[in-house]
A and B are shown apart, each in its own frame.
Chain A
Amino acid sequence: MKLSLEIHNLTKSYGKNIIFSGLNLSLSAPNSYCLMAPSGTGKTTLFRILMGLEKPDSGSIRACDLLKDPPCRIPLRELCISSVFQEDRLIEFMTPLENAALVLPGKADREELISWFSRLLPKESLFRPVSTLSGGMRRRCALMRALLAPSSILLLDEPFTGLDDETKKTAIRCLLDKADGRLILTATHSRNDAALLNASVIELPESVSL
């Protein structure tokens, strides 16, 4: 599938705090986009709306499969989404491999999981509960889980927090190798990340308080 997302006139506010109003975005796979905006300007909220965890006040999001002729519309809730949340959201008592297997349908191919994970994490760490891993290792584990899950869109909310430059570069290489033509949307503060990800930059306007 070749996904396109048309975000039209999207508005969301919490009380008097308008997160965004009249947001228009046109995104399509297999491109990579970076959402650049100061904290608290609705990157996470936009992601949550895309994941169906939050409802917009108004506006619409249309998802289409461009490979079909004519392009056919997909209901948002049928869209398979992989997400790296702002927090890691891992199952603490499970190993990195088990965390990935949890989100894969059917029985996971263990050897394949190991070979992907060992690109980002030391091999011995793959068989320990994630509660024993360092912050950076957990972040990479959450990223790997998102990459391995079958999906047509990757939502990455500051996926490289806590990673040093070297590991970040490895992670980005791995991300691009496993993108599989998916639409990639990354929230980040750093222009450097956008360049490394080879992503088009989208600036979200500042949110306003009435």
Chain B
Amino acid sequence: MYKRLRLPLILIFWLLVWQGANLFISNDILFAGPWDVLSALGRQIRTADFWRTLAASFSRIGAGFLAAAALGIFLGAAAGRFSALEDFLAPVMLLFKSVPVASFVILALIWIGSDRLSVFISFVVVLPILYTSTLIGLKSADPKLLEMCRVYRVPVIRQIEAVYLPALLPHLLSSADSAIGLAIKSGVAAEVIGVPDYSVGGELYMAKIYLSTADLFAWTLVIIAAAWVLEHLLRKFLKLINKKGQH
């Protein structure tokens, strides 16, 4: 009984803290309470532009994510096979990892403009993460099992199924999870700088222009919710693939 009530009670407590802070500050520009945010959200949801904005932003970020995932896994697998390629790619991946997202955003604005900006940014953020985890995952394949395969002359395709995939999938699972969160956060940040039409980041920028804190909070909630949904969809999908590798 206590366990079942605990979570709702905790949530209610923090909502009350939020509302209390709102009453204390009592300034619509500096802070928005839960009720203001909810009504701002309700206003937005009823418009067609809201859904169009949401779809446009997340399809761009998703496209970048999928392209980076495909290339990252492919390059990671190739680098796992050929160590020369790993060394060759190491500076590029290090560059992608260490250059600040903001620098990439400005560069992308100059190169490709604001429309496809977040595709590029989510691509650049996700690529090194999935590349690295693919590489590490493949390297974690049990050398004893690989020796066994060599002695028995197990064909490569069967080795992949029996040894490499089960070693790879747990790594991929956990990194894809954090990669999608990062893709969304940095994709939206890029949109705030580039302000493309129909974008979540553009809406955040508008909220700043009009000093509409309630809208800022509302869009933030939307981003969190969408990221949560996408992470869960991805996790479901990867679990489905992983079913064979489950111990």
Whole-angstrom distance between the Cβ of A19 and the nearest chain B Cβ = 18
A13 to B191, CA, bound (A): 64
B244 and A149: CB pair below 8 A? no
A83 to B152, CA, bound (A): 8
B244 and A103: CB pair below 8 A? no
CB-defined interface of A111-143 with B at 8 Å, one 1/0 digit per residue? 000000000000000000101000000000000
A52 to B151, CA, bound (A): 8
Tell me the number of A-to-B contacts counted with CB atoms below 8 Å: 43
Interface size classification for chain A: 20 to 34
Please, which residue of chain B has its CB at the minimum distance from the CB of A101? B158
Residue B147 at the chain A interface, CB threshold 8 Å: yes
Question: Mostly helix, strand, loop or mixed at chain B's interface?
Answer: helix
CB-defined interface of B80-103 with A at 8 Å, one 1/0 digit per residue? 000000000000000000000000
User: Which among B145, B148, B151, B153 has the highest number of chain A CB atoms within 10 Å?
Assistant: B151
**A81: B residues at CB distance < 8 A:** 151
- Given A102-B158, A103-B152, A103-B154, do A93 and B247 touch, yes or no (CB 8 Å)? yes
Out of A51, A92, A105, A131, name the residue touching B151 (CB < 8 Å).
Answer: A51
A85 and B245: CB pair below 8 A? no
- Given A82-B152, A91-B162, A94-B162, do A129 and B147 touch, yes or no (CB 8 Å)? no
30 contacts between A and B (CB under 8 A): A51-B151, A52-B150, A52-B151, A53-B150, A80-B153, A81-B151, A82-B152, A83-B148, A83-B151, A83-B152, A85-B144, A89-B144, A89-B145, A89-B147, A89-B148, A91-B145, A91-B163, A91-B166, A92-B166, A93-B166, A93-B244, A94-B162, A102-B152, A102-B154, A102-B158, A103-B152, A103-B153, A103-B154, A105-B153, A131-B247
A: residues with CB less than 8 A from B are 51-53, 80-83, 85, 87, 89, 91-94, 102-103, 105, 129, 131, 149
